[in-house]
Structure 1
Amino acid sequence: MAATSTCVVPIKGTHMRIVELDVCGIPVTGASGMVVVNDSFVQIVRSPQYEEGTEFFERNAAGAPCVNQKDDPTLKRFNLTVQLCSINVSATAFVISARELVTGTPTTGTGFAVAEGQPTNRYSLEVWQEVAGQGACDADGNQRYIYNAFPNVGATMLGDYTIELGRSILEFTSETRAAAASWAALVGADWLPAGETVETDEHYVYNVTTTPPPTAACDPTTLAA
């Protein structure tokens, strides 16, 4: 157990980053991969999914309980609901396993077409938050951030999309899987404590860091090997 701890108050959401993964959850590096940083999301909801533990209850012949025990629940995955007010065509097309519509030279994504069938694409999702109050900076005056990471995400489904006299929000839901062994070194290392990694049975990472989030941009970038 750590000798001291860090207490902070998370507030707001500043940046989210999507990194393309292969079917095994391994980050795709180089020109064939994609990284997109967005600061125009409305909310991201993390919903843990548990399997209830088996309950054992039996009464004796006199009606009194003789067995009363319940196994602990098991965390299966997290469900993520993401709402976007600014739609990045390239990132959205990949996340929802749609076909990106492109034009021109250099190639520019202008839209996407959604076909029937199962979603196959996988990605990692990182979300940065501010820290409120007196804990906003560390003892050396460095600004703190909350780093939330979901190293392996997929099974993405589109949500409702309303066209009306008002803003239109694009919503999708995804499910997590356990991280690939290489994810932390390739993607999350700058926002984890030195020497720490992400284990292959872990679905979610939360860390207080002074490393700022990456800069938001519309154009996708790539991940270095």
Structure 2
Amino acid sequence: MASAVTPIKGTHYRIIKLDACGNPVTGTGSMVVVSKGFVQVQMDAQYEDGTEFVERTADGTLCVNQKDNPVLKRMQLQIDFCEINSTGASYLASARELTANAAGITGLGFAFSEGSPTNRYSLEVWQRVAGSGACDPTGLQRYIYNAWPNCGATKVGQYTIQNGRSTFQITSETQAASAAPTIGWGDGPGSGATWLPTGEVVQSLDHWLWAVTTTPPPNPSTNPTTLS
């Protein structure tokens, strides 16, 4: 039976550090950031237009008129953060984190230098379900689970200092998810809950996953955690 739901708002996001091959990093050196401090995530699908074949006869009549289907290349993501996590932001944008050991704080900012961004991450975003479909028949709250398993090529967008709030904006591009059978993205990073339907796993050409779930989002945390 198909699901028919109405997504509304965004509740949480989770960012997980990946290695260069798109596999989640676990244990020492890993990074998980969970927060509600974002304004929006905007996705634009990037397609390669299909090749068009047109040929006319000598009197101008169409002899061949055919166009190949477009090909999905990647998703482009724009993320606007209203809460700036120094560790998460510096990692996403391949910047250098400014650290200090005073008062138990280990990250106080970041610095950008010349060069190409190299860091990769996965992004998961949860939404609520609006209206009469907000809960399942047993009374559990339903959520929309969005996952982009392999993101990178991140660029920093506009940052405005004004008589008002400032947001930290980045744009990233997706790559196909890792196909590694044992260390790849699987049914979601880590050994905790999964938000994909039972039996579903990320496949090697996937760029974006969207699923209805009753599993609540993880709890936000100021300090990044490790992935096990």
TM-score over 0.5 (shorter chain): yes
Give, in whole Å, the separation in 2 of the partners of 1:54 and 1:122.
Answer: 32
Pairing 1:204–2:198 present: no
Give, in whole Å, the separation in 1 of the partners of 2:105 and 2:42.
Answer: 33
Shift of 1:107: 5.6
Instruction: Please identify runs of 4+ aligned residues in structure 1 that moved more than 4 A.
Output: none
Shift of 1:139: 1.2
Residues 78-127 of structure 1: CA distance to partner in whole angstroms, max 9, x if unpaired? 00000011101100000000011111175611100100000000000000
Equivalent position amino acid for 1:56 in 2: F
Give, in whole Å, the separation in 1 of the partners of 2:22 and 2:110.
Answer: 24
Specify which of 204, 217, 220 is matched with residue 216 of structure 1.
220
The aligned counterpart of 1:43 is: 40
Give, in whole Å, the separation in 1 of the partners of 2:4 and 2:220.
Answer: 28
The aligned counterpart of 2:140 is: 142
Give, in whole Å, the separation in 1 of the partners of 2:187 and 2:63.
Answer: 52
The aligned counterpart of 1:19 is: 16
Give, in whole Å, the separation in 2 of the partners of 1:187 and 1:206.
Answer: 16
Equivalent position amino acid for 2:40 in 1: Q
Specify which of 87, 91, 96 is matched with residue 94 of structure 1.
91
The aligned counterpart of 1:184 is: 186
Q: Is the 8 A contact 1:27 1:186 kept in 2?
A: no
Give, in whole Å, the separation in 2 of the partners of 1:131 and 1:144.
Answer: 6
Moved more, 76-85 or 183-192: 183-192
Q: How does 1:118-129 map to 2 (within 5 A)?
A: 118-129=116-127
Give, in whole Å, the separation in 2 of the partners of 1:185 and 1:78.
Answer: 20
Give, in whole Å, the separation in 1 of the partners of 2:30 and 2:188.
Answer: 12
Q: Secondary structure at the match of 2:186?
A: helix
Give, in whole Å, the separation in 2 of the partners of 1:164 and 1:183.
Answer: 40
Q: Secondary structure at the match of 1:44?
A: strand
Task: Output the aligned Cα RMSD.
Answer: 1.2
Q: Is the 8 A contact 1:124 1:150 kept in 2?
A: yes
Residues 133-157 of structure 1: CA distance to partner in whole angstroms, max 9, x if unpaired? 0111111111100000000000000
Give, in whole Å, the separation in 1 of the partners of 2:154 and 2:25.
Answer: 18
The aligned counterpart of 1:9 is: 6
TM-score (norm 1): 0.95
In structure 2, the CA distance between the partners of 1:20 and 1:164, relative to structure 1 (3 Å rule), is: same
Equivalent position amino acid for 2:144 in 1: I
Q: Secondary structure at the match of 2:162?
A: coil
Q: How does 1:30-109 map to 2 (within 5 A)?
A: 30-104=27-101, 106=104, 108-109=106-107
User: How many residue pairs get matched?
Assistant: 221
Give, in whole Å, the separation in 2 of the partners of 1:186 and 1:75.
Answer: 23
Give, in whole Å, the separation in 2 of the partners of 1:184 and 1:107.
Answer: 34
Unaligned runs of 5+ in 2: none
Moved more, 102-111 or 71-80: 102-111
Give, in whole Å, the separation in 2 of the partners of 1:107 and 1:85.
Answer: 20
